[in-house]
Structure 1
């Protein structure tokens, strides 16, 4: 099987904690061909979508640790047609480039892509969580999204809570997430101006969300595969930061899903699968869904560490990827045989 990872540059990989590297290493370990490219490496030649790829050379023995694998892997550069791969694993960081998706539209019927292009279009930012909320559901915290500063200020003033969370719509890794308090209303206007107004004259959407009690104790990252939870960890904020993201200084701990969290996963799982969002990371606080991460969900290496490699999540993910490729090949073979019978009739 040949797999192309569309992701961030190889040189930006954290060789000890990178989820993409764990997935790549698992593919190489199984003997699959692996190539990597960034969204900027996509190109069209003679009406065929290609990518300037960095291909991992075959290894006689795959090192046991991520760090040694990263150090010993050798790469060669080749221009390759995307439709020639069996699967494309999308792992690029936000924000989502719509032009890049247009490139991939040309091959979506030829190769299995995880996650689906339409699913990523719908769920690549923090608005997607609203799809799981309704008048009878308490699955998500009360949320406002707007570019209108006056509206956002009014919502802060009218909120019964003393604290709220403000964050940019397209942020990731905890960047730009701020805890605000009514006692500091004098700073809210300038803060919203900073978030909404860009230097190029455009404006940005801002998310205003009810603060969930217990958030100061951290959140739970759950990895979902094909609509089911396959791993979880508790992320605890550092002493000088309210954010629990590991990239923002948070620490990690074991976590067993609660009854409420299991029910949440069961409720949202079918929609994730329906939207083609097979590998997803969700963030949960107090049993409420805060974010759905569909572009480059992380956490595999950290979960493996806290559970002392008793649960190797990358194996489950690549097992699933292989099964989808086999299903697609069998379906293609069946269609070909049936069409031949009709042609020969």
Structure 2
């Protein structure tokens, strides 16, 4: 199959889940292309074209690190491809990681993905689903109440202060749009700068106030789903615990969290069971769930990751599981054509 991965930009791409997936697809003999969100070209009445980068098939890519090195080297081929000749467009850019001055890039992947989907290319995750869930913390609020912590989304300071008092004067404040633990604050009864914190976060948009979960001191658990099911290989599941650093309540690898193993508890399975029907129905293929004990605290539908830490804790390489699932979807699309929608194929096991 011909598959193109949409990244923020190739020059600054780091070793992670996307590169691991690209390496596996390459090693399975597929035509793998990479592109940044600024590499789409559109002319009215013509198919979209892409300024892509490709690692030649004969390149030594025994490891994802070698693949990334080759992708950024002079060995890589620059090729303008017609989008509708692709089998799959895999949207993997993370809008919340865009640098200042690149606001145009935040929605570009999803916007052009919708157009390519309409031109017959299989887009994963479904581009219209991604557009609906672009603010993933807002999409999160559509999930069943019983699996989520108590929360409030607002820009009103008085409403936040009231919520703070109603939740024993211990809450977490974070921007509605953001990732990596940036501008996330624990507000307890000893916090003297609550007004300034609210004002700082609200300068960039809405604030989500969330009840504090004491169990967060043990870190959180990232569960990776493919078509609503926890990935499993040889009896091992794609679950990783992120343990917070000393004196830190945020469990982000970017902030010094370390990886540890975790079993799938009945509480976690309950969260998966209640989340999966909506994810499948909406056309989400690859999703990450962040869980603290019996509560889902975040959902990542745009660029779920963390697989680069799996080897550190003895977990197997799950990338073949994902690529094999995509191969099945390409076959479904070829066999059924327009009888099945992109959303149906994206959510189909």
Q: Determine which of 14, 18, 21 is the counterpart of 1:20.
A: 18
The CA distance in 2 between the partners of 1:90 and 1:55, in whole Å, is: 16
Match for residue 284 of structure 1? 291
Q: Is residue 228 of structure 1 aligned with residue 235 of structure 2?
A: no
Structure 1 residue matching 2:95: 3-state secondary structure? coil
How does 1:38-187 map onto structure 2 within 5 Å?
A: 38-47=36-45, 48-59=47-58, 61-63=60-62, 65-73=63-71, 74-95=75-96, 97-109=106-118, 110-124=120-134, 125-134=136-145, 138-159=146-167, 161-184=168-191, 186-187=192-193
Q: 1:252 to 1:126 in 2, by over 3 A?
A: same
Structure 2 residue matching 1:97: 3-state secondary structure? helix
The answer to whether the 8 Å contact 2:35/2:53 transfers is yes
Q: 1:275 to 1:304 in 2, by over 3 A?
A: farther
Unmatched segments (≥5 aa) in structure 2:
97-104, 232-237, 341-349
The answer to whether the 8 Å contact 1:94/1:172 transfers is no
The CA distance in 1 between the partners of 2:36 and 2:240, in whole Å, is: 29
The CA distance in 2 between the partners of 1:213 and 1:197, in whole Å, is: 28
TM-superposed CA distance for 1:235, in Å, is: 0.5
TM-score computed with the length of structure 2 as normaliser: 0.87
TM-superposed CA distance for 1:106, in Å, is: 2.2
Q: Determine which of 279, 286, 303 is the counterpart of 1:296.
A: 303
Aligned CA-pair RMSD:
1.9
Deviations along 1:270-318, one digit per CA (max 9) or x if unpaired, are: 110111111001100121111110111111221243125xx32101100
Greater displacement, 264-273 / 49-58? 49-58
Q: Is residue 242 of structure 1 aligned with residue 258 of structure 2?
A: no
Q: Is residue 195 of structure 1 aligned with residue 201 of structure 2?
A: yes
Structure 1 residue matching 2:149: 3-state secondary structure? coil
TM-superposed CA distance for 1:53, in Å, is: 1.3
The answer to whether the 8 Å contact 2:55/2:67 transfers is no
The CA distance in 2 between the partners of 1:320 and 1:285, in whole Å, is: 28
Q: 1:158 to 1:38 in 2, by over 3 A?
A: same
Deviations along 1:61-99, one digit per CA (max 9) or x if unpaired, are: 432x22233224531212222221100111111248345
The CA distance in 2 between the partners of 1:244 and 1:11, in whole Å, is: 27
**Over alpha carbons, which structure has the higher Rg?**
1
Structure 2 residue matching 1:3: 3-state secondary structure? strand
TM-superposed CA distance for 1:222, in Å, is: 0.4
Count how many residue pairs are aligned between Structure 1 and Structure 2.
320
How does 1:256-275 map onto structure 2 within 5 Å?
A: 256-275=263-282
The answer to whether the 8 Å contact 2:24/2:323 transfers is yes
Structure 1 residue matching 2:239: 3-state secondary structure? strand
The CA distance in 1 between the partners of 2:59 and 2:76, in whole Å, is: 15
TM-superposed CA distance for 1:240, in Å, is: 3.8
Unmatched segments (≥5 aa) in structure 1:
199-203, 336-345
Greater displacement, 49-58 / 314-323? 49-58
Structure 2 residue matching 1:298: 3-state secondary structure? coil
The answer to whether the 8 Å contact 2:70/2:76 transfers is no
TM-superposed CA distance for 1:332, in Å, is: 2.4
